[in-house]
Amino acid sequence: MKIPFAIALLAAFVAPVLAQDAPEPLGRDYCFETADMTAMLRKFDGLKDRKRDTVGAEFALGFDLQDGEALPERAELRDGTAVTPIAFDAHHRSTGLTPMLAAASDAAELCIVDPARAGRRPMDMGYRLNMGLGIRFLRTPGTHGLAEIEDGLKDGRSHYKKMAGAMGFMVPKFDHVAVAGRDEDNPPRLWATADGADIGEPAFTLYDGARLVDVDVLEAMGADGIRIADGYYRLSPSPDAETVAKFSGGED
């Protein structure tokens, strides 16, 4: 089954770009065309190197399972005769998908192989399929200097303007960082730092599984950077929560 993949530009800055119930499969698998995804990644190729040294685009596929449900048998990228399996972490989120898409041809397809669910109705699939595109900080060493953060905010806005094309003038100012982890109900904690020492937790807003921190708040604290709790995290440039909600139609 072929499903066109259409990216909703500026649909969300923290939440996934696409979140939809998996369509009813015909037989043992169903496939998404990936041409729009690879075309989006090619847009970023036009950015100067200095705009891509701190942040970059990341596509991720994820499964939100209902209680008692199992993952599909596998997911794979099919490009002509080449079939490349997609790996997932313990939280059912794909790893390494972005470079695969960047190297794919316009004829490539992302396929979910799920024979055990063949014939189920869409409302009974047992999971929700999420495909998201985010702009992330490339490095995640646990500490980030204020200069790096400010560079990432500026460069992140350039990425979103590329995504928006002719509507790039609508992209708002990016003045927050969003910190998310594997647990949407408990995103990683972060501390403001000065000269390598913690000076306190900055005020933040919880939005869609991430802590949003205003850079102005960090500067007012006298911080020269941040430290993020040990473990996996994603750090993204972002506007404030009110602006995110305005563009995404999400939380109030």
pTM exceeds cut of 0.85: no
b/e code 17-35 from CB counts within 10 Å (16+ = b): bbeeebebbeeebbbbbbb
* Average pLDDT by stretches of 10, the chain with 252 residues: 32 36 59 90 91 93 90 95 94 92 95 88 80 90 97 95 83 93 90 97 94 97 97 93 76 48
User: Tokens 């790096």 — which residue?
Assistant: 148
Residues 213, 179 contacting (CB under 8 angstroms): yes
CA distance 72 to 236: 29
Q: What contacts 119, CB < 8 A, 6 or more positions away?
A: none
pLDDT digits (tens, 9 = 90+) for 164-182: 888 788 888 999 999 999 8
By C-alpha distance, which of 215, 199, 164, 176 is closest to 7? 164
- Predicted confidence at residue 23, as pLDDT, reads 52
